[in-house]
């Protein structure tokens, strides 16, 4: 049962967890990605629910450890990190701020209009050109594809739509 007087505590937990970053793309927080799903406090037990970007994501254990460490350092040692796979994570959950940060970091964010069409034109993070080409379905991680800009010739990662 969720106790009534924990609203302030939940807000504090959100503040703390909003600073936890993705192990693979450290410019993005788990909140930016939409990976952070829920924080609940029942009695003295804190439960954090996360949905990894894909099942079997190797970064999951790092995320779990980062969440536990962040809360433990702030005086919340009793934390359970739960994984929720249903509904599955989708790039639609990524915040606008997150998409902007990705682009500035040099990774083309998943364009909402391109979703459902994996090879849809991604804007080059270097020059903004949409004259880009898919080089490989697999970039530096399974979540990304490698593209190259036909204007400035720079290769860049494209965060694939899921």
Span interacting with Zn ion, options 35-43, 67-75, 82-90, 143-151, rule CB under 5 A: 143-151
Q: What is the DSSP string of 63-122?
A: HHHHHHHHHHHTT---EEEEE--SSPP-GGGS-HHHHHHHHHHTEEPPPGGGTT-TTPPP
Q: Give 42 or 151: the residue with its C-beta nearer to Zn ion.
A: 151
Q: By CB under 5 A, is residue 127 in contact with Zn ion?
A: yes
- Quick note: the x/- pattern for Zn ion over 24-53, rule CB under 5 A, is ------------------------------
CA distance 88 to 159: 17
Q: Give 70 or 126: the residue with its C-beta nearer to Zn ion.
A: 126
| Strand pairing class (79-83; 45-50) | parallel
Footprint on this chain of Zn ion (rule: CB under 5 A): 124, 126-127, 129, 149, 151-152
């Amino acid at each position: 049962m969720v106790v009534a007087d924990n609203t302030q505590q939940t807000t504090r937990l959100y503040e703390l967890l909003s600073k936890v970053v993705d192990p693979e793309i450290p410019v993005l927080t788990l909140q930016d990605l939409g990976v952070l799903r829920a924080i609940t406090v029942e009695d003295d037990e804190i439960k954090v629910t996360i949905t990894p970007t894909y099942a079997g994501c190797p970064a999951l254990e790092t995320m779990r450890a980062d969440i536990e460490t962040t809360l433990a350092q702030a005086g919340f040692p009793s934390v359970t990190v739960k994984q929720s796979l249903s509904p599955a994570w989708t790039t639609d959950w990524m915040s606008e701020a997150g998409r902007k940060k990705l682009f500035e970091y040099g990774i083309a964010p998943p364009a909402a209009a391109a979703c459902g069409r994996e090879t849809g034109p991604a804007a080059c993070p270097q020059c903004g050109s949409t004259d880009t080409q898919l080089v490989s379905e697999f970039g530096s991680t399974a979540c990304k594809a490698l593209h190259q800009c036909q204007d400035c010739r720079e290769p860049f990662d494209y965060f694939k739509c899921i």
